[in-house]
């Protein structure tokens, strides 16, 4: 099966999206520097984050565009590449804020933005709290990336027919609202009582991942690409119906990797989701199936930022021993299978159809 990386490289998509992101950041750095030269530290840090990433959202958007009859070159192709850059800028904003809320230390093998700014403060021996400085700078950088993605999507659709441009902007705006609401629901789930009703815990976890990740990771990029190609409403509805279960499977795979992934591949420490205390479907299923002693162990240690490696291994053993991971893998397979069947049945043109199907498989069956 083709890898996600090889699929994103087709038709020079990665190169073109990367180039557009870099152009946007270069212009933004000039604007920021003219306001206050020290603030270019923000755009420098944005560049660190944005030079990584799989570009899957841009690829889902582009290949949906191609599968709905979009041309390989020309004005519309330029628009969808810029829309892909806007998706990448938006993802950067979401990750920056998410890392602050989760108190994460690493992202893609590098220090998270708030930790990088904290280290800058400490190294310079500035006044005040280094931690607070790092948090503040990362939040502001996330806000700056939100401004950037709005500018980029606006420029992307500027040359398209007015009705198509308006539909694309409305879709992009709705996606941003969904992610913000999903983030709040995630914060709320972390604060609410947990572990008393595992079935309810699982449903809440799935509601969070649909709003926070599933839609903007797969469904919305697929729909955006279809809209940019001028697809009929029935075609848009078809890829939307396929995209949501695929997006949910994508996020469930992320949750498995957050506990059992290889740090050298994922770029995050082993068991990082356990230290962050993420209330995932995997955690809810463990609570439902584990014995009393193992449930007590999970409740006592889930969310402890100081978990040592030995305790991480004990918790991973509890999760594996409960059968929860097998259950989540089955759920991933069911969701992915339904999404792939719906995508295969949609009215799609080649070469986009086959690439989209391969992309969907690669997004779910991955190690990072």
> If you average pLDDT over residues 124-141, what whole number do you get?
98
Tell me the Ramachandran region of residue 269: left when phi exceeds 0, alpha when psi lies from -120 to 50, beta otherwise. Answer: beta
- What mean pLDDT is reported for the chain? 94
Q: What value does the mean pLDDT take over residues 185-214?
A: 91
Residue 270: pLDDT over 80: no
- In CATH terms, is domain 4-364 a member of 3.40.190.10? no
Q: What pTM does this model have? A: 0.94
Query: Does the pLDDT of residue 277 top 90, yes or no?
Result: no
Nearest to 239 by CA among 364, 77, 83, 63: 63
The pLDDT confidence band at residue 257, using thresholds 50, 70 and 90, is: very high
Residue 366 pLDDT level (bands cut at 50, 70, 90): confident
Residue 271 has a pLDDT of 81
User: For residue range 133-166, what is the model confidence (pLDDT) as tens digits?
Assistant: 999 999 999 999 999 999 999 999 999 999 999 9
Categorize the per-residue pLDDT at 52 as very low, low, confident or very high, splitting at 50, 70 and 90.
Answer: confident
- Whose tokens are 């972390």? That residue is 190
Instruction: State mean pLDDT over 46-75.
Output: 96
């Amino acid at each position: 099966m083709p890898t996600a990386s090889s699929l994103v490289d087709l038709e020079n998509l990665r190169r073109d999206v990367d180039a557009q992101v870099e152009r946007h950041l270069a212009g933004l750095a000039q604007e920021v520097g003219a306001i206050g030269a020290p603030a270019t530290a923000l755009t420098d840090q944005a560049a660190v984050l944005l030079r990584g990433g799989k570009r899957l959202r841009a690829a889902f958007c582009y290949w949906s565009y191609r599968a709905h009859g979009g041309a390989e070159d020309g004005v519309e192709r330029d628009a969808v590449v810029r829309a892909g850059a806007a998706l990448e800028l938006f993802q950067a904003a979401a990750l920056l804020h998410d890392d602050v809320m989760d108190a994460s230390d690493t992202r893609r093998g590098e220090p998270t933005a708030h930790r990088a700014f904290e280290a800058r403060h400490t190294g310079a021996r500035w006044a005040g709290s280094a931690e607070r400085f790092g948090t503040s700078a990362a939040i502001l950088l996330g806000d700056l990336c939100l401004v950037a993605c709005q500018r980029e999507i606006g420029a992307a659709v500027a040359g398209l027919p007015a009705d198509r441009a308006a539909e694309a902007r409305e879709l992009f705006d709705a996606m941003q609202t969904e992610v913000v609401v999903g983030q709040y629901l995630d914060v709320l789930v972390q604060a609410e009582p947990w572990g008393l009703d595992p079935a309810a815990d699982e449903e809440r976890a799935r509601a969070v991942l649909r709003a926070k990740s599933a839609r903007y990771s797969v469904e919305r990029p697929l729909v955006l690409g279809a809209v940019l190609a001028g697809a009929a409403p029935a075609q848009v509805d078809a890829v939307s119906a396929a995209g949501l279960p695929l997006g949910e499977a994508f996020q469930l795979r992320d949750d498995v990797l957050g506990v059992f992934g290889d740090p050298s591949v994922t770029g995050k420490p082993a068991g990082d989701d356990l230290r962050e205390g993420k209330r995932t479907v995997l955690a809810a299923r463990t609570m439902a199936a584990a014995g009393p002693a193992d449930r007590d162990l999970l409740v006592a240690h889930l969310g402890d930022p100081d978990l040592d490696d030995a305790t991480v291994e004990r918790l991973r053993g509890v999760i594996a021993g409960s059968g929860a991971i097998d259950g989540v893998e089955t759920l991933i397979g069911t969701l992915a299978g339904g999404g792939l069947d719906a995508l295969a049945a949609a009215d799609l043109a080649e070469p986009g159809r086959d690439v989209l199907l391969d992309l969907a498989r690669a997004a779910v069956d991955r190690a990072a």
